[in-house]
Each structure stands twice: as structure tokens, then as C-alpha cells.
Amino acid sequence: MSDSEGVSSPVTLRMSQGGPAMEGNFWEQVGGRPTFERLVREFYRGVASDPPLLAIYPEEDLEPAIQRLTGFLEQYWGGPTTYSDTHGHPRLRMRHAPFKVNPAQRDRWLTHMRAAVDSSSCRPSRTRPCGHTWSARRTRW
Ligand code: HEM
């Protein structure tokens, strides 16, 4: 995310080019840390059960990866900036560059993430259901 897009580090990304992406604090609305951790654990449960996708993941212990993705998503949706405080700017393209991802693995990743979102209690009280909100976003990471 560059400054020309109106966002500076650390990235919380709740603001779109057109103004606030949503009312209030989405992270709070959906239940804060426990909701995001549950979602990511569910996602990684899917990854762990999927050998062709799991093969990309460099560490046998998925717990550190769970903590990183939870921290990133919390921060992205308006929660604490612990991720950037600890790891610096997300720079997700750079961080993903070492991994060779084929189309089938990409699709499996999305399938597991969608299933995790669908199974989560991600229901902000004052906005649309979480799945709808997520798929409606057009933000580049
Ligand atoms: C084709 C889809 C994707 C694949 C196959 C993929 C794969 C991976 C892999 C193998 C890792 C390393 C695990 C670790 O050590 O943390 C990783 C890390 C990570 N991914 Fe993805 N990823 C995908 C999409 C995404 C998306 C859409 C996001 C953002 C929502 C994301 C966010 C992250 C984050 C935050 C990390 C941890 C980066 C770090 O701090 O080192 N990934 N991903």
C-alpha cells in the first residue's frame, strides 16, 4: 500500500480512497481477538487437513503462522497494531514471494478461508454480514 493511496504505515486499512470503509470499529463489532483467532484456527485446521496445500507451508508447527495471520487480520480490521509493531509493515507480496503457489493451491486456500469465514461468528451488529463485507472489498495488499 503506497502513500499515494492514502494509507501510511502501520497499515490498519480501514480507510478506503473514498473515506471510511465502514462505520465504527469492525474488529470490536465482531468480537475482537477471540473471533479472529477462532477464524484463523479454523482456516489452519483446513490447511492442515489438505496435504497439497500444506506442502507450501515452511514450518511443521503451524502455531507461529496462526499467530501471524491472526495479528495481521486483527490489525487490518481495526484492532491492535501488534502485527506491525512486531514484524514491521506487512509487505505481503514480498513475504509471499518465496512460495510457489499453483492455481489448485490458490483455490484450496480460498476454499478453506471461505469455509472459516462462513463458520465464524463474524456478524457485525451495525453492518452487513462479514462474508458479504469481505467479498465486497477491493483493497490491494
Ligand atoms: C493463494 C493464497 C495464499 C497462499 C497460498 C498463502 C500462503 C502463505 C504461506 C505459505 C505463508 C507462510 C506461513 C507463515 O509462516 O506465516 C503465508 C503467510 C502469511 N500470509 Fe498468506 N497466502 C495466501 C494468501 C494470503 C492472503 C489473501 C493474505 C491476507 C489476508 C495472507 C496473509 C498472510 C500473512 C499475514 C502471513 C504471515 C506473514 C509474515 O508475517 O511472515 N495470505 N501465506
pLDDT tens digits, residue range 28-42? 989 999 999 999 999
pLDDT category of residue 7 using cuts at 50, 70 and 90: very low
pTM of the model: 0.79
CA of 115 to the centre of ligand 1 (A): 17
Contact 107, 115 (CB under 8 A): no
The full set of domains in the chain, from first to last, is 27-130 (1.10.490.10)
Torsion angle, alpha carbons of 37, 40, 46, 49, to 10: -70
CA distance 96 to 58: 11
Residue 29: what pLDDT?
Answer: 87
Q: Please, what is the average pLDDT of the chain?
A: 82
Regarding predicted confidence, which is higher, 21 or 77?
77
Q: Find all residues with CB under 8 Å of 105, minimum gap 6, and list them.
A: 52, 53, 56
Percentage with pLDDT > 70 across the chain: 70
| Minimum-distance ligand 1 atom for the alpha carbon of 141 | 29
Q: Is the pLDDT of residue 129 over 90?
A: no
| Grid cell digits, residue 141 | 495488499
When pLDDT is cut at 50, 70 and 90, the band that residue 121 belongs to is: confident
* Residue 87 Cα: closest atom of ligand 1: 40
Protein residue whose Cα sits closest to atom 41 of ligand 1: 95
Cβ atoms of 116 and 46 within 8 Å: the answer is: yes
Tell me if 57 CB under 6 Å of ligand 1.
yes
Which are the contacts of 108, defined by CB distance < 8 A and separation ≥ 6? 50, 52, 53
For a mutational test of ligand 1's pocket, the pick from 91, 93, 96, i.e. the residue with the most ligand atoms closer than 8 A to its C-beta, is 96
